[in-house]
Amino acid sequence: MKTFFISLISGIIFAIGLSISGMINPHKVKGFLDIFGNWDYSLAFVMGGAVGLNYFTFKYFEKKHELNTPTAIDKNLIIGSALFGIGWGLIGICPGPGIVNLINFDLGILVFVVAMLLGMSLYRMQTGKR
């Protein structure tokens, strides 16, 4: 039960951070990705802060936890990364902000989340991975 509450509080903090930073606004994300048009650089600060924070926290936890370090760049990694990037660029939403955006009752976001869950389920069925 303790793990559930820690996960719940972490999710709420994550959702608040996504909301404050503007990461749940598809137009802001698309503006960030439009580097040759009307570029909105504000999300670069959000990403820079996240990378900086994670760099130092992973250095701290690295001594205590085993981190999964991939050794090869294979076809599945490249295809998955390309699909993620194309999807993010087309609609301006990735999984975390998509789930947070469910609170807005937007049909497009609902379709995105259902398609995401369907894709995850198909992957698990195909590979047998959990």
Helix ranges, the chain (H): 2-21, 26-33, 42-61, 75-91, 95-100, 107-127
CA 126 to CA 28: how far, in whole Å? 35
pLDDT in tens, 51-107: 998 888 877 776 665 666 767 888 888 988 898 888 888 888 888 888 998 988 889
How deeply is 26 buried, as exposed, middle or buried, from its count of CB atoms within 10 A (0-12, 13-18, 19+)? Answer: buried
Lowest mean pLDDT among 6-20, 52-66, 102-116: 52-66
Contacts of 72 (CB under 8 A, 6+ apart): none
Task: Tell me the residue range of the domain where 76 lies.
Answer: 2-127
Q: Provide the domain count of the chain.
A: 1
pLDDT band, residue 117 (cuts 50/70/90): very high
pLDDT digits (tens, 9 = 90+) for 37-53: 888 888 889 889 889 98
Q: What is the DSSP letter of 61?
A: H
Position of tokens 């660029």?
89
Cα separation, 42 vs 31, whole angstroms? 9
